[in-house]
Amino acid sequence: MEVRARAPGKIILAGEHAVVHGSAAVAASIGLYTSVSLRLPSPDDNDDTLTLHLMDVGLEFSWPIGRIKEILPHSVNNDASSPTTCSEETIKLILTVLEDFNIPEANIGIASGVVSFLWLYTSILGNKAAKVIVSSELPLGSGLGSSAAFCVSLSGAMLALSGSVEVDFDQDGWISFGEKAQQLANKWAFEGEKIIHGKPSGIDNTVSTFGNLIKFKAGALSCIKSNMTLKMLITNTKVGRNTKALVASVAERKKRHPDAMTSVFAAVDFISNEFASIIQSASNFDDDVTNNEQRISELMEMNQGLLRCMGVSHTSIETVLQTTAKYDLTSKLTGAGGGGCVLTLLPALLSATVIDKVVGELEQDEFQCLVAEIGGNGLEFRFDRRS
């Protein structure tokens, strides 16, 4: 039996950094996915190993099930219906099974993802043999939620074969879990994210699980159903950024200029709320679409200006903004800033020729360009009955 699952990445449309200081923010899924294929061997296969193949980094890991039982005795009595946190002691134990693999220095950050995989797998499916293949359309470490999509797609595939959620094995095509199963997958994915990031907000995995858009403020998340088709050019500057340092720098600026920065954060709050309102109430009439795109463009422009006020832009980001502005397109950074990715709104009537010109010019600066629809489906899965 084989199951395939996929989960989307995410972007922050409005509210970066200001959300830490009480403002609202809006996040959305993007039409770029991490995909997982999970195959359980048949009784005739006589296979007693667990294999993980990370296609995008060219790494493969394989462990005898006996070794898994030895390191992770909880796998004998797993309970997929009750997500649990991996302790620091268990993380150290899991790391010992990676010592036999020569992970290149350039991919050393992959180790936490493998630990997350082993914890999720043994907690949900126990100590069964399996072959798991992971591939992704998302660039790693760029602020597009690649680790969350990894954890969500893994959790979805594992739960689909765990017997702990209701699934229709005879249904064709991509299908979604019911609400309870979605919630369970999201909780497991969050446990995986905690292994990778320590103290994640939970926003990335929630967007990846449920799709569409999410507005969040003061720790409260609310799902938004989009009534508007949005397409964005996502430009990866390939400039690494230190999120913690950038968050700290904004906090320091607030200490130095409390009144001014409070006003900045308040303005961002209005922008995020208006952004969410436009997307929820939009219609598909041509005049309305053009008007709404103009309003969103203006909100993005204002938000980027306020992010400059916070001190989190970067020369690479400004280069993207200058290039897209030549084509009358509006862009803003997404995520932590200081590099990372930039969003450019692509109006519905924009020709493919113009998009190609913009992409070509940005790629000359060695940026990576991805075009994606915003606010689509979240976690989905399908069964391959030929396996």
Give the Cα separation of 159 and 277 in Å (integer): 35
Question: pLDDT tier at 386 (50, 70, 90 boundaries)?
Answer: low
Give the Cα separation of 162 and 124 in Å (integer): 7
pLDDT in tens, 19-54: 999 999 999 999 999 999 999 988 777 788 999 999
**Strand residue runs (E) in 78-163:** 130-136
Give the Cα separation of 224 and 11 in Å (integer): 14
Q: Look up the CATH number of the domain holding residue 325.
A: 3.30.70.890
Mean pLDDT across 122-138:
94
CA–CA distances in Å: residue 336 to residues 20, 80, 141, 229, 299: 11, 34, 12, 25, 18
Helix (H) or strand (E) holding 29: strand 25-39
In this structure, the answer to whether residues 268 and 345 fall within a common structural domain is yes
Q: DSSP string of 69-91?
A: HHH-GGGGG--TTS--PPPHHHH
In this structure, the answer to whether residues 291 and 235 fall within a common structural domain is yes
Tokens of 211: 């799709």
In this structure, the answer to whether residues 168 and 44 fall within a common structural domain is yes
In this structure, the answer to whether residues 236 and 214 fall within a common structural domain is no
Instruction: Count CB neighbours of 119 within 10 A.
Output: 25
pLDDT at 83 over 90: yes
> Strand 2-14 to strand 380-384: parallel, antiparallel, or no bridges (unpaired)?
antiparallel
In this structure, the answer to whether residues 125 and 237 fall within a common structural domain is no
pLDDT in tens, 249-284: 999 999 999 999 999 999 999 999 999 999 988 776
In this structure, the answer to whether residues 284 and 357 fall within a common structural domain is yes
Which pLDDT does position 362 carry in this prediction? 98
Give the Cα separation of 4 and 161 in Å (integer): 10
Tokens of 95: 């790391």
In this structure, the answer to whether residues 116 and 166 fall within a common structural domain is yes
Q: Look up the CATH number of the domain holding residue 57.
A: 3.30.230.10
Contact indicator for 28, 9 with CB cutoff of 8 Å: no
- The tally of domains found in the chain comes to 2
In this structure, the answer to whether residues 119 and 236 fall within a common structural domain is no
Give the Cα separation of 321 and 339 in Å (integer): 12
Which pLDDT does position 210 carry in this prediction? 95
Mean pLDDT across 69-83:
81
Amino acid at 28: A
Contact indicator for 313, 337 with CB cutoff of 8 Å: yes
Q: Angle at the Cα of 186 (from 119 to 112), degrees rounded to 5? A: 35
Which pLDDT does position 87 carry in this prediction? 92
In this structure, the answer to whether residues 45 and 75 fall within a common structural domain is yes
Read off the pTM. Answer: 0.90
pLDDT at 166 over 90: no
In this structure, the answer to whether residues 207 and 288 fall within a common structural domain is no
Which pLDDT does position 97 carry in this prediction? 85
Lowest mean pLDDT among 40-44, 215-219, 320-324: 40-44
> Which of the residues 204, 259, 287, 384 is marked catalytic?
204
- Cα 313–chain centre separation: 21
Give the Cα separation of 235 and 145 in Å (integer): 15
Give the Cα separation of 342 and 329 in Å (integer): 12
In this structure, the answer to whether residues 287 and 217 fall within a common structural domain is no
In this structure, the answer to whether residues 253 and 114 fall within a common structural domain is no
Rg (CA), the chain: 22
Active site residue 269: no
Tokens of 324: 């897209």
Domain holding 329, by residue range, is: 230-374
Instruction: Count CB neighbours of 272 within 10 A.
Output: 26
